[in-house]
Structures are given as structure tokens and as C-alpha cells.
Amino acid sequence: MDGFHLKYLILIIDKHHAFWVEDFFVNKSELIEHIAKHADISKAAAARALEATVGAVKTTLKKGGTVSLVGFGTFAVTKRAARTGRNPRTGAAIKIKSAKVPKFRPGKALKEALN
């Protein structure tokens, strides 16, 4: 999948700037274009900013930390326990290893903006 579907995407740059994209299928290049247009920066600068942000989130999560963006939400890592699953073709039991999985918990302002 090249993008993600959002009912509302709110980009809160600081307490004075919030940008909305409503009911769109947004992929990375469209998000970069939107950031560039509304932040009055070049697409190249917007792409670098987005890459830096995503990279910082990945690095922090990989180290076991959390990333909180006030008004937007919190990214964290949780551990999913090992479990037994079923092979859908054969019905045979299979062991599924434990795994670290990323989680996102939306912030109060984001929740309020959607309702």
C-alpha cells in the first residue's frame, strides 16, 4: 500500500499552525506536497523534514522509547506475547513468536477534532 486513508489528517506544526486535509487517501508524496504548500517551504525541504521526523520516531522506538506530540498523540512500543495460531490451509497449530509492535495512541486534541 502506497499510502493510508484518513478521515481527517491534522498536522500541528506549533500552537499557531494547524493544517487540515479532509477525507483523502494520502500517500507520502501528497503529504510532502501538502506540507510544502502550507508551511511555505520547498518540496525538497518538506521531504527532508518528513524523513527526519519519521527517522526520529523509528530510532526512538527502536531504542524502546516513546514519542509524544502534544495534541496529536503518542507513539510507543509494546510487546506482543508468543501465542499459538493456526495455518489457515491445513488447520495445523503453529507457534507464533513474541514480537515488539508499534502502537499509536491519539491525543486529546486529535480525538476532539474528529468528533
3 state SS of 111:
helix
Q: What is the pTM of this model?
A: 0.68
3 state SS of 115:
coil
pLDDT tens digits along 33-58:
999 999 999 999 999 999 999 999 99
- Looking at residue 115, what is its pLDDT? 85
pLDDT in tens, the chain (115 residues): 344 444 444 454 444 444 554 555 678 998 999 999 999 999 999 999 999 999 999 999 999 999 999 999 999 999 999 999 999 999 999 999 999 999 999 999 999 988 8
